[in-house]
Amino acid sequence: MRIDTVKYQVYKFNELSKEAKEKAVQDYYEYEDFSFLQDDLTESCKSLLEQYKIKFNNDLQLSYSLSYCQGDGLNFTGNFEWKKYHIKIAHSSWQYLFASASDITIMNKEGEEIINEKIEKQFKNLYINICKDLEKEGYGIIGYRMTDKEFSDLCEANNWEFLKDGKIYN
């Protein structure tokens, strides 16, 4: 039997070469799953709904696909109250998540469907604008890249160390 001991040169992020720093940052974002994104966008959605005086229930559901592909987009569904109307929003496409693929039903207090093009257009434009704002926020979060200083602080807070080439050591 034989036991080999391997020694590694281990670096703090700020000790790495420029190329190694770029690799470390690239590796970090390659495996980023944005686990907080759903909650953040849902909270932003609630805030925008309140801003536009749209009441929502616990059935508010936000769906999105933000990977820069055809059919990507964002929508939200549920039951809402706006002005004197009850509004039901359902998503009509299993394949695409963009807002215009949503079915919006506007009803009076008695639950009877209202056919009023002006009201429908007004609410649909409001809905589309909210979805666009949330989509833009989502892409902003996904597209954000930390500065070297911010990434260095993150590494220090997590006690991350690296090999000379930028590969994480621990």
Judge whether 64 lies within some domain.
yes
pLDDT confidence of 47, banded at 50, 70, 90?
very high
- Backbone φ and ψ for 70, nearest 5 degrees, come out as -60, 135
95-122 average pLDDT score: 86
**Confidence at residue 94, expressed as pLDDT on a 0 to 100 scale:** 65
On whether residue 70 sits in a domain, the answer given is yes
- Percent of the chain at pLDDT exceeding 90: 68
Q: Report the distance separating Cα 126 and Cα 85, nearest Å.
A: 14
If you average pLDDT over residues 70-75, what whole number do you get? Answer: 84
Provide CB contacts within 8 A for 109, sequence distance 6+. 84, 86
pLDDT above 90: residue 96: no
Number of domains making up the chain = 1
User: What element of type H or E holds 127?
Assistant: helix 117-143
For residue 157, being part of any structural domain is answered with: no
Please give the residue range of the domain that contains residue 105.
37-143
Question: What's the token pair of residue 96?
Answer: 């695409």
| Residue 160: how many other CB atoms lie within 10 Å | 17
Residue 13 within any structural domain of the chain:
no
Gap between the Cα atoms of 170 and 159, Å rounded? 8
* pLDDT at 138 (0 to 100): 94
Angle at 56 between CA 142 and CA 42, to 5 degrees: 15
**pLDDT-derived band at 93, boundaries 50, 70, 90:** low
Mean pLDDT of the chain: 91
pLDDT (average), residues 58-71: 86
Domain assignment present for 121: yes
